Structure 1
Amino acid sequence: MKVFLDDERSTPDGWIRAYWPDEVIRLLQAGQVEVLSLDHDLGDDSRGTGYDVILWMETEVALHGFSPPLILIHSANSAAAQRMRAGVESIARLASRQSFANLKVKFYEEEIVTVRGGVQNSLNSLYEKFKNEVSLPAELAERASPPLLLSVSDKWVNAEKRVLVVGQETLGWDFHPGDYFPDLKDPIMTFADFQVTPSSVAALTAGYRDFEFARHQPGNYNSPFWRAYRSVRSSLGEDVDGAETAVLWTNLFRMSLDNGSVYENGSSEEAALIREAGSALLRAEIQVLAPTSVIFFTGPNYNEHLYAQFPGVEPFNLESYEPEKTSMLKHPLLPIRTFRTYHPAYLARSGQWGIISEINAWNQESD
């Protein structure tokens, strides 16, 4: 029996659903569980979390010789997931010190598929909520593009270093039947289309994946932004192309306006409305994705929008750079290694491209 403990995500095919720790513990006591996949936050901490199941198994292995199942973690709570993984490793050591290495390898190999599905499912839930709850004025919704929605790969989930690159704006982001998603029957050209098209979340995440970071757009591929993006991938020892990556991309503005820049085409009120429509989504994505590093290639002209999306964010000095232009950023939702610098187009024009190499090098340093 495969048991899936979760309060919100869809149950994978072939798994038995459980909602609370006591349900899982009863099944474990009956000796029926071969594989167990655990979420941490279950909606009511007074009834326990996934970590309580880990603690129960650890005690039973230590005191009563309990034989644990294969244990997987699919929690989006990065701190809790780390604690749960430590508990799983303790269980493995207690169960069999001689075979611990094999157990650990099996654990992580199996975890990749389950966690990736969990991360993408969590993102898709955010995107469906965004789709159903965000309200833009009707005229603005017809002028705004569909939103940028991310797709994660196995490499992202399994990587020790995960870098989220944040640019300024999403430009020219629309979809036609046959572009990427075979079930798309009608074009998704505007934010209004996105909100009324039944398969729009699936279509846009498929579009993100198949876009492959401008790989199929020769004119865009060699732009400064995408050259900077590929330099980050190269610094992690990755192939610079392909959808399998530990470097994802998003933007401060998730939608464009009038097929171009919100910053240039919109009034200050319109820009604020579009920015705020995506602000909560960006913050929630970061919590789900748990990047180990974030790089804002946004430039000082977008500081207003950056600070509005992360209230209370604190820039602090990075070497001798001016902190309002190139700095590290401190905020509860951002990882320790969060950098903010100019857009790569400006860095290329001003002869300061070396800042990107420096950020890549700082990312490689040990904490």
Structure 2
Amino acid sequence: MDQINRYLSEMYIEYWNKLKNQLVDRKVDLSSLSNPFLIDVVDSYRSASVKVLFVGKETCGWGQYIGTVDQEPWEAIIDLQKDYIKFRQEAKWAHTPFWRASKAIYDRLNPNGPADGYMTSNLIKLDQKNTRPSPEVEEIICSNFPLLPYEIKALSPDVVIFFTGPYYDERLKKTFAGALFETVNDLAPKVLSRIKHEMLPPHSYRTYHPGYSLRGKKTKATKFDPMVDAIVKQVTTTK
């Protein structure tokens, strides 16, 4: 286990029981929750020239938390990290908007880089009934399992792209307290904003989830491509 993976595993275990205890104490139906989305570093990320982290909203199904929660924490965490690596290697969902968009942007920033050398995570680490948790459960999860800033610290990406859209901006601002949103080029802020925060790299952006912009070729041309062009221009020409 290298330094990055060790840091991630130790950080996950630090918060594992804290989340479990709060969910149980608050009488949350554990059977409604997915497993936590815990990451491990894919080998190709290490050799990418421009390291990119894509952040989604929450999982849309990732096993069942109720089947994992009573395992020994180390065992559960290692298993979930292995699931992440297996998921990336199998690439069964490569055809879906999130993964198509991630690959397209990564390839633009790393034209000669290793295949799929990017990382992914989520703003909210568990889903509830395959969608965004209720406000109460979301607060419990994010307050007691505040993992994303630590993941960013461990991965040290050059670029972070939040595929979360404007409806998750309040959650994003709670995760990165004091974050400032800036316009990019002439794009509407809800389409693309640059996020400034001490825990984020200078090139951090929030845009719509690709499910909004990558449905059909015409939609891609009018909504997705301008956003990608703007990000690539910002990364390659500004500090």
What TM-score, normalized by structure 1, do the two folds share?
0.57
State the secondary structure of the residue aligned to 1:196: coil
The 8 Å contact of residues 148 and 170 in structure 1, kept in 2 or not, is answered as yes
Shift of 1:201: 0.7
Shift of 1:276: 3.0
Shift of 1:240: 4.1
Query: Is the aligned partner of 1:152 residue 2:41?
Result: yes
Alignment counterpart, residue 187 of structure 2, candidates 307, 321, 343: 321
Cα distance per residue 1:6-60 (max 9 Å; x no partner) = xxxxxxxxxxxxxxxxxxxxxxxxxxxxxxxxxxxxxxxxxxxxxxxxxxxxxxx
AA aligned opposite 1:250:
S
Alignment counterpart, residue 224 of structure 1, candidates 97, 105, 122: 97
- Separation in 1 of the partners of 2:3 and 2:102? 26
Which residue of the partner structure matches residue 206 of structure 1? 82
Shift of 1:348: 2.6
Which residue of the partner structure matches residue 214 of structure 2? 348
- Separation in 2 of the partners of 1:229 and 1:155? 14
The 8 Å contact of residues 233 and 239 in structure 1, kept in 2 or not, is answered as no
- Separation in 2 of the partners of 1:323 and 1:121? 37
Unaligned runs of 5+ in 1: 1-115, 175-188
AA aligned opposite 2:13:
E
Query: Is the aligned partner of 1:332 residue 2:198?
Result: yes
Shift of 1:302: 1.2
- Separation in 2 of the partners of 1:315 and 1:232? 21
Shift of 1:239: 4.7
Runs (4+) of structure 1 exceeding 6 A deviation are none
- Separation in 2 of the partners of 1:141 and 1:311? 29
Distance verdict in 2 for CA 1:365–1:302, change over 3 Å: same
Query: Is the aligned partner of 1:294 residue 2:160?
Result: yes
Alignment counterpart, residue 312 of structure 1, candidates 178, 192, 195: 178
The 8 Å contact of residues 164 and 249 in structure 1, kept in 2 or not, is answered as yes
Alignment counterpart, residue 61 of structure 2, candidates 155, 166, 172: 172
Query: Is the aligned partner of 1:271 residue 2:138?
Result: yes
RMSD: 2.1
Query: Is the aligned partner of 1:261 residue 2:131?
Result: yes
- Separation in 2 of the partners of 1:341 and 1:323? 9
State the secondary structure of the residue aligned to 1:294: strand
State the secondary structure of the residue aligned to 2:36: coil
State the secondary structure of the residue aligned to 2:86: helix
Distance verdict in 2 for CA 1:290–1:239, change over 3 Å: closer
AA aligned opposite 2:188:
E
Alignment counterpart, residue 252 of structure 1, candidates 111, 119, 123: 123
- Separation in 1 of the partners of 2:38 and 2:199? 19
Quick check: which has more Rg, 1 or 2? 1
Cα distance per residue 1:164-212 (max 9 Å; x no partner) = 10111111101xxxxxxxxxxxxxx21x443321211111101100101
AA aligned opposite 1:226:
W
- Separation in 2 of the partners of 1:248 and 1:118? 17
Shift of 1:325: 3.7
| Bigger relative contact order (CA 8 A; separation at least 6) | 2
Query: Is the aligned partner of 1:161 residue 2:50?
Result: yes
- Separation in 1 of the partners of 2:180 and 2:89? 30
State the secondary structure of the residue aligned to 1:352: helix
The 8 Å contact of residues 214 and 226 in structure 1, kept in 2 or not, is answered as no
User: How many percent of aligned residue pairs carry the same amino acid?
Assistant: 28
What TM-score, normalized by structure 2, do the two folds share?
0.85
- Separation in 1 of the partners of 2:86 and 2:210? 23
Alignment counterpart, residue 232 of structure 2, candidates 344, 360, 367: 360
